[in-house]
Amino acid sequence: LESCHRIEATIKGGSSALLGVTRGKPSERRLESVLLTPEGFILFDAEFREGQTIVRRAVAPFDSQAFARGLMEDVSLLFLPPQAKPAGWEKETDGTMTCAWEGPDKFLTEIKGSTERGWKILRRNKRGKVIREVALNGPFVNGLASHVELRAFKPASYRLRMTLVQQSP
């Protein structure tokens, strides 16, 4: 898996444009994530392996542990399947598929949608409050959505709009 996305990040009313490159082996639960300026300057470079985040490079304001943890959690939500076994898929009368997983952290991940209409991922904390909401819209290229919008609500509020620029299997 390797992908490059154009990212529009909206945080506290401000907006910035970035590029995000993700490489990984989902079967090994391993990911590498790099954030760059549109000119190619590396702002953040980290690897998620065996449940640990290893930061290789980070410049301010991307150099905090909270940022590294949050970014790698978001990347994992987008590119890795949940660790727990699913509760089972259900098909609604309109053809929408729904599935839920409860992870070892007691957070719930729900996936709902279809390839024709797009998919939505909801991540809920232990109290059932939505902390992340992801919309995945096509066209889908080798299983990846061309358009992704991630909205985070807790602990910090922000929105990422991602457009697939390049993808390799």
Predicted confidence at residue 150, as pLDDT, reads: 98
Predicted confidence at residue 158, as pLDDT, reads: 95
Predicted confidence at residue 79, as pLDDT, reads: 92
Instruction: For the chain, list residues with pLDDT below 50.
Output: none
pTM of the model as a whole: 0.90
Query: What's the CA angle centered on 117, arms 114 and 164, to 5 degrees?
Result: 95
89-134 tens-digit pLDDT: 899 888 899 999 988 888 899 999 987 889 999 999 999 999 999 9
- The one-letter amino acid code at 117 reads R
Predicted confidence at residue 51, as pLDDT, reads: 84
